[in-house]
A and B are shown apart, each in its own frame.
Chain A
Amino acid sequence: MKDSVKKHYLASITDKFVRGQLGRREFLRAAGKLGLGAGALGMGFGNRPFGAFSSARAAEELTPNPEILKWLADVGKPFAGTTLKLATESTPPSNAINGQLKKYFEEATGIKVEIEVLPLEQVLQKLTLDVASNLGTYDLYYIDQSWAASFSQDVFDPREQYSAKADLAMPNYNLDDFLPALVDGIAKYEDRWVGVPYDIPIFIMIYRKDIYDKLSLKAPETIEELYTNSKIITDEMGPNVYGTTGQMKSGHYSLECDWTAWLWGHGGSIFGPDGTFTGNDEKGAAALEYWTKLKATMPPGVDGWTWDGQGQSVAQGVAASMLSWGEFFPYFDDPTQTKVSGLCEVAVPPRAISLRTVKETGYGEIPGVGHQGGSSLAVSRYSKSPDAAWIFMQWATCADTQALITTLGGGTGPTRASVYDDPRVLAQARVGAGTTRHLPVVRETIAKHMGSEPDLPEWAQLSSDTIPVSLGKYFAGSYGSPKEALDDIAKQVGEVLKG
Chain B
Amino acid sequence: MSVTQVKRIAISDSPWPWLLPLVSLLVVFTIYPLIYNIWLSFHEFMPRKRALVFVGFANWVQLWHDTRFWGALGVTFVYFTIALACEIVLGMAVALLLDAELPGFGALRAVLSMTLVIPPAIAGMMFLLMEDPQFGVLTYLLNMLGLLDKATPILATSSLALAGVLVAEIWQWTPFMVLIFMAGLRSLPPEPYEAAMIDGASSLQMFRRLTLPMMSRVIAVAALLRGIDLFRVFDYVFVMTSGGPGTSTYSLSLYAWQQTFSFLKWGYGATLSLVSLAIVMILANLFIRAFKVRW
Contact = CB atoms under 8 A, between A and B. Distances in A.
B235 interface: no
Contact of A250 (B48, B50, B246): B246
B132 interface: yes
B173 interface: no
B220 to A, nearest CB: 37
Contacts of B258: 465
Nearest to B154: A304
Contacts of A250: 156, 241-246
Contacts, number: 96
A251 B50 contact: no
A250 B153 CA distance: 13
A204 interface: no
B248 interface: yes
Given A250-B245, A251-B242, A469-B247, A304 B132 contact: yes
A121 B242 contact: no
B115 interface: no
Contact of A299 (B51, B128, B134, B263): B134
Given A132-B50, A303-B153, A476-B156, A465 B246 contact: no
A461 interface: yes
A249 B241 CA distance: 8
Interface in A425-473: 457, 460-461, 464-465, 469-470, 472-473
B83 interface: no
A300 B243 CA distance: 19
A313 B134 CA distance: 10
B202 interface: no
Contact of B245 (A131, A132, A461, A473): A473
Contacts of A475: 156, 245
A301 interface: yes
Contacts of A252: 242, 244
A478 B246 contact: yes
B234 to A, nearest CB: 15
A497 to B, nearest CB: 13
B54 to A, nearest CB: 16
A470 B156 CA distance: 13
B187 interface: no
A121 B261 contact: yes
A136 B181 CA distance: 54
Given A469-B246, A477-B158, A300 B262 contact: no
Contacts of B248: 473, 476
A334 B244 CA distance: 33
A304 B127 CA distance: 13
B133 A128 contact: no
A476 B152 CA distance: 11
A240 B242 CA distance: 28
B264 to A, nearest CB: 6
Interface in B254-276: 258, 261-264
B63 to A, nearest CB: 15
Contacts of B153: 300-301, 303-304
Contacts of B263: 460-461, 465
A172 interface: no
A12 interface: no
B80 interface: no
Given A300-B134, A473-B245, A121 B151 contact: no
A150 B245 contact: no
15 contacts: A250-B243, A251-B246, A299-B134, A300-B133, A300-B151, A300-B153, A303-B153, A304-B128, A304-B132, A464-B262, A465-B258, A469-B244, A472-B245, A472-B246, A476-B156
Given A125-B261, A465-B258, 20 more contacts: A121-B262, A125-B264, A132-B50, A132-B51, A239-B150, A250-B242, A250-B245, A251-B243, A299-B133, A299-B134, A301-B134, A301-B153, A301-B156, A303-B153, A304-B133, A304-B153, A464-B262, A469-B244, A470-B246, A476-B245
Ranked nearest first, the 5 interchain pairs of A and B with the lowest CB-CB distance are A250-B244, A473-B246, A303-B156, A476-B245, A250-B245
